Structure 1
């Protein structure tokens, strides 16, 4: 199989880690950021050092035949532990429970890594094997135990992650559930990888040659599993990062009809321009501020009787109470703007001494009022005529 399938994920993992690094440096004690950073770093390491050219290069640089074996196994073990740690922090719970579970996981997988290098040091593997070390040394003392230990640790992690993700997926919905389903599939494929590896090694113990399971099937399975696991972890994080700006843009668009109705009601009031590069949240705040300024300008022209009649008409036609409120507010605002435009000298504003209640009272829903305006636009005379006719 082409090693591009290993180098590509390695590069993507390294880039993702670098993107996360500034946040980690700003908040080095954040356990979730640490878990994400470690997962990305070890994932990149697995694919980088697991590629055949890198395996040969590490052996060559160190001068130790097959030293890449415990190195790759250790990075893979660290990745397995990082997955569990991230899921522990991701799922949440009491800080004490999270710390206890994290320490247990890190300690266990840390001991496995130490044991891997210890067993390799005790064993004898003089012949460099780039693709089939697992099966070639399946009967070599200590090297055999090293291989079995890494496979057991990796299989245990895959089974634990499959179980945890499956159980958690029953409690959540949306993008998190989709991400967990993707991870379940990815880890099931990873279990298939482990089964192939165990089968090939076990065949060697029984005197058979099933090496193709390890060299020709297991490696492609690893490449298939990794995108599902990576996307499963990344999808909820990306969606959560994008959801805020998306909702801000959505609200900004929804407020458009109401904002346009209330724009530049008087010559001495102009809305400040918002930078083209301003984030969506700033744009929403500015648009809401403009709308409330418009309410203050139109306040002397509000016709509460018209609003009450419009609300009663909407309720009589079967509208929900909150929709009837928004409909009535839209009518009153439109009528107030027409009254202001019919008062070029602004005599009403000048003579107004007190403010009356604005649209909707304390339960004002700007987006719903804006939607009512869009649905019934042009709202002025047409709406008032409909209310008068219903009366």
Structure 2
């Protein structure tokens, strides 16, 4: 009857588990932005419906539904309704991703919802009108292919599924040439997934049509279609998840690199009384990055009375003489100025006096931190002994 059989349930379990895991990972965001973000609603519904299709399509689950209700083959319209709603969720999510005029997007979304709601209603009406005395858990499509009203039932769900796959493939294919990055990678998987679903529909229709012609190609529906559906579902799941996961992973990697890069700066300011609070050990990386930046800013504020513009100006000129770019030279000069201020503070020297103005401090804390670790000028200044009786700077 459905997408699965005991023999093919294990490979179908893979996309089901992936969809469930993705839904669980996205659940906090879904709950937080459910009312405000239509993309979040569409993705949540899609992941939930996709996993439900494969879990409910298991033969033992189908038999349980039939026994619990006392209606033979009642699980058929249930699973087909889930498939139809999944198709609608795919279409709606792609429409929201594509964007455009908000009013047009809303109208299109409502039209899709109305059409597929009518299809779901048609599935239950045709099922109620059909006569299905024998329970069929694996081959209902072909077994009842010539039965009045059940024939229409099968064609209705296959037609809705095929139309959704065709429309989504066409929209995604035309959009594919306009985007790049993680979104483009996700669209590639979506195109492949919906093409696999079109193959699934074609195999099913061939098997059903063979029954109409008095031939028996039931093995296509029972044994060939399920693995095609598994591959298609896996590709679609990856296609919808990849842009979100890729962007989140890229943001996490950026935060991690910045957090690591700021380490030398934090260590340089260690021991200064900045008043920064400690974070719990299991704080998320984004929070730890903000905390590290705050500690550095507080440390620079503590050092401000000891910062000598003359030291910064001489270091800036020396960095330019070494063919550093202006931005890199500014970071190097700020690093030297920070080292000089820390040295004055720890030696108990008085605050810096007036000095010739130097370049503006580099605003990029990551660049300054990297200069603290890599710059030859900074290394030369570290190696130089304190000389409080004369202006500090970098000797060539």
Please report how far the alpha carbon of residue 218 of structure 1 lies from its aligned counterpart in structure 2 after TM superposition: 0.4
For residue 259 of structure 1, what is the aligned residue in structure 2? 266
Please report how far the alpha carbon of residue 15 of structure 1 lies from its aligned counterpart in structure 2 after TM superposition: 5.5
Q: Does 1:5 align with 2:4?
A: no
Q: Is the 8 A contact 2:42 2:93 kept in 1?
A: yes
For residue 323 of structure 2, what is the aligned residue in structure 1? 318
TM-score by length of 2: 0.85
Cα distance in 2 for residues equivalent to 1:33 and 1:276? 30
- Deviation readout 1:304-327 (Å, 9 max, x if unpaired): 334333333333443222112112
Q: Does 1:329 align with 2:341?
A: no
Structure 2: gaps of 5 or more residues? 1-6, 386-391
Of the structure 1 ranges 366-375 and 52-61, higher mean CA displacement relative to structure 2 is found in 52-61
Mark the CA change 1:138 to 1:247 in structure 2 (over 3 Å): closer, same or farther: same
Please report how far the alpha carbon of residue 383 of structure 1 lies from its aligned counterpart in structure 2 after TM superposition: 8.6
Report which structure shows greater RCO (CA 8 Å, sep ≥6): 2
* 98, 101, 117: which one aligns with 2:105: 98
Off by >6 Å, runs of 4+ in structure 1: 354-359, 383-386
- Deviation readout 1:85-120 (Å, 9 max, x if unpaired): 122223333432221111011111111111112222
Mark the CA change 1:60 to 1:359 in structure 2 (over 3 Å): closer, same or farther: farther
Q: Does 1:131 align with 2:132?
A: no
Of the structure 1 ranges 179-188 and 274-283, higher mean CA displacement relative to structure 2 is found in 274-283
For residue 307 of structure 1, what is the aligned residue in structure 2? 312
* 71, 75, 78: which one aligns with 1:71: 78
- Partner of 2:379: helix, strand, or coil? coil
Please report how far the alpha carbon of residue 26 of structure 1 lies from its aligned counterpart in structure 2 after TM superposition: 4.8
Please report how far the alpha carbon of residue 58 of structure 1 lies from its aligned counterpart in structure 2 after TM superposition: 2.1
Cα distance in 2 for residues equivalent to 1:21 and 1:378? 49
TM-score by length of 1: 0.86
Pairwise mapping of residues 127-276 of structure 1 onto structure 2 (< 5 A)? 127-265=134-272, 271-276=276-281
For residue 380 of structure 1, what is the aligned residue in structure 2? 381
Q: Does 1:364 align with 2:369?
A: no
Mark the CA change 1:83 to 1:263 in structure 2 (over 3 Å): closer, same or farther: same
Root-mean-square deviation (CA, aligned residues, Å) is: 3.0
Mark the CA change 1:356 to 1:28 in structure 2 (over 3 Å): closer, same or farther: farther
Cα distance in 2 for residues equivalent to 1:302 and 1:23? 45
Cα distance in 2 for residues equivalent to 1:59 and 1:323? 72
Please report how far the alpha carbon of residue 293 of structure 1 lies from its aligned counterpart in structure 2 after TM superposition: 2.9
- Deviation readout 1:159-194 (Å, 9 max, x if unpaired): 222222233332332222222212221111111111
* 347, 352, 368: which one aligns with 2:350: 347
- Partner of 2:120: helix, strand, or coil? helix
For residue 287 of structure 1, what is the aligned residue in structure 2? 292
Q: Is the 8 A contact 1:248 1:280 kept in 2?
A: yes
Of the structure 1 ranges 189-198 and 167-176, higher mean CA displacement relative to structure 2 is found in 167-176
- Partner of 2:163: helix, strand, or coil? helix
Q: Is the 8 A contact 2:130 2:148 kept in 1?
A: yes
Of the structure 1 ranges 250-259 and 162-171, higher mean CA displacement relative to structure 2 is found in 162-171
Please report how far the alpha carbon of residue 83 of structure 1 lies from its aligned counterpart in structure 2 after TM superposition: 0.9
Cα distance in 2 for residues equivalent to 1:269 and 1:127? 78
Q: Is the 8 A contact 1:299 1:356 kept in 2?
A: no
- Partner of 1:131: helix, strand, or coil? coil
- Deviation readout 1:306-355 (Å, 9 max, x if unpaired): 433333333344322211211222222223333444x43x3336xx6x89
Please report how far the alpha carbon of residue 17 of structure 1 lies from its aligned counterpart in structure 2 after TM superposition: 4.2
Please report how far the alpha carbon of residue 228 of structure 1 lies from its aligned counterpart in structure 2 after TM superposition: 1.5
Please report how far the alpha carbon of residue 217 of structure 1 lies from its aligned counterpart in structure 2 after TM superposition: 0.6
Cα distance in 2 for residues equivalent to 1:383 and 1:197? 80
Q: Is the 8 A contact 2:381 2:394 kept in 1?
A: no
